Chains A and B, each alone.
Chain A
Amino acid sequence: MTKDTAASTAAPDRAPADTQWGLWEVFTQEGEGAPHEHAGSVHATTAEHAMQNARDVYARRGKVVSLWVVPTASIIASVPSDAGPMFDPGNDKAYRHPQFYKVPRGVRGL
């Protein structure tokens, strides 16, 4: 490393790391009104760079109108063993389903 007399310094107190950078998850919206869907991930060290990389990797074919990037570590995911309690449909609970409600015949728009 060359000696540097200008303002910039290396990251304090340790040799600069050489990694493949941090991981970010990318969500793309393909068309107005569509939901953002998980597209994959990119590596970057700042949000701006993650955004640019996400655009280059997942949005260069031009169908994407909006991008979200999130540090992977910020995502809180449900745990597979939660699936039962959290996600099982309440088939035994009739009131969640439209059929529970009796309405007069012939009423439109329901």
Chain B
Amino acid sequence: MNAENRERGTGNGEPGGYPPQAGGGNGATADSWVPGARPGGATSGVVENSTFEYLLRLADDRLVLGHRLSEWCGHAPILEEDIALANIALDLIGQASALLKLAGEIEGKGRTDDALAYFRDAIEFRNAQLVELPNGDFAATIVRQFLFDAWDVLLLERLTAATNESVAGISAKALKEARYHLRHSAEWVRMLGDGTAESHARAQRALDELWPYTHELFLVDATDREAVAAGIGVDTETLRLAWRETVDRVLREATLTRPKDGFAPRGGRTGRHTEHLGRMLADMQSLARAHPGATW
């Protein structure tokens, strides 16, 4: 139990960890710090809370990535791409909204999708760090999108078999969208990798910088395991091989080199984000928070 607590608390294997708990060290978890979490923390193995946590992970990936993509609107390299990126952003935000609604219902405290999106702090978000990184140039945006899409398709294929009907339904629709997203991002990876010397250099640089953040996509912790046991989650470690195959194939076609594994940042799944997320949310949430309780 303690080992699981530590794992969930920090993601780094340190006991207790940040933020410090009123009761002191052992048994502290990120959950018990989070407003709205059940008293006594989530380490009691209560399935609803794990489900809630797990759904936030799914939802927050999409919300944050959709938001990042939406930042391109009006600034893309060519008109057709303004339209394409907006499409993907819309799909992702739509998926996030559906998942957040479901998460709120399961939490049972009356939090709507908007309440969850606009009134949680960065430390309460559960997205992987990969998706919160700033867009960078077009190569970085596309490479990040490709690495995510290749994973997302595999994840959603499994989630369509979830025993929770809502999760299965949302996933089935999202899978169609994700397949199209992958088609788009993979083609761009090829175009940039096998385009000009400049585009190739930018794509390779983006790949080298983003690669470390892909490892978090395949981490499995107690929350994941409980979600799998409850029939609504996926053991993403089992997706790694298929993901590598897809990625290797496209990189080869793109004449890009797969970076070596090494540095593997993590923590997003338990609220330990990069500094980028806080700034992104400051932008995203500012108006809603300036008028709490207002209807839009």
**Closest chain A CB from B234 CB (angstroms):** 28
**Closest chain B CB from A68 CB (angstroms):** 17
**Closest chain A CB from B72 CB (angstroms):** 14
A11 contacts across to B, CB distance below 8 A: 196
Q: State whether the Cβ of A34 lies closer than 8 Å to any Cβ in chain B.
A: no
Interface residue tally of chain B, by bracket? 20 to 34
Q: Is the CB of A56 within 8 A of B87?
A: yes
**Closest chain A CB from B205 CB (angstroms):** 9
Stretch at the interface among A2-10, A88-96, A99-107: A2-10
> Restricting to A1-54, which residues have a CB under 8 Å from any CB of B?
1-4, 6-11, 16, 20-21, 42-45, 48-49, 52-53
Number of A-B residue pairs having CB atoms within 8 Å of each other in the complex = 57
Q: Is the CB of B257 within 8 A of A6?
A: yes
Q: State whether the Cβ of A108 lies closer than 8 Å to any Cβ in chain B.
A: no
Contact of A20 among B78, B201, B204 (CB under 8 A): B78
**Closest chain B CB from A81 CB (angstroms):** 35
Determine chain B's interface SS by DSSP, over half rule: helix
Contact of A43 among B78, B84, B197 (CB under 8 A): B78
Q: Is the CB of A42 within 8 A of B80?
A: yes
CB-based nearest A residue for B80: A53
Q: Is the CB of A1 within 8 A of B87?
A: no
Contact of A8 among B183, B184, B195 (CB under 8 A): B195
> Restricting to B73-88, which residues have a CB under 8 Å from any CB of A?
78-80, 83-84, 87
Q: Is the CB of A57 within 8 A of B201?
A: no
Q: Is the CB of A10 within 8 A of B196?
A: yes
B78 contacts across to A, CB distance below 8 A: 20-21, 43
Q: State whether the Cβ of B198 lies closer than 8 Å to any Cβ in chain A.
A: yes
Q: State whether the Cβ of B193 lies closer than 8 Å to any Cβ in chain A.
A: yes
A56 contacts across to B, CB distance below 8 A: 80, 83-84, 87
Contact of B197 among A2, A20, A57 (CB under 8 A): A2
**Closest chain B CB from A28 CB (angstroms):** 16
Compute how far the CA of A6 lies from the CA of B201 in the bound complex, rounded to whole angstroms. 9
Q: Is the CB of B196 within 8 A of A48?
A: no
A3 contacts across to B, CB distance below 8 A: 197
Q: Give B residues with C-beta under 8 Å from A.
A: 78-80, 83-84, 87, 183-184, 187, 191, 193-198, 200-201, 204, 255-257
Sample (5) of A-B pairs whose CB atoms are under 8 Å apart: A2-B198, A8-B196, A43-B78, A43-B80, A52-B187
Q: Other CB < 8 Å A-B pairs besides A1-B198, A2-B197, A52-B184, 13 of them? A: A2-B201, A3-B197, A4-B198, A4-B201, A8-B193, A10-B196, A10-B197, A42-B80, A52-B84, A56-B83, A56-B84, A57-B83, A60-B87
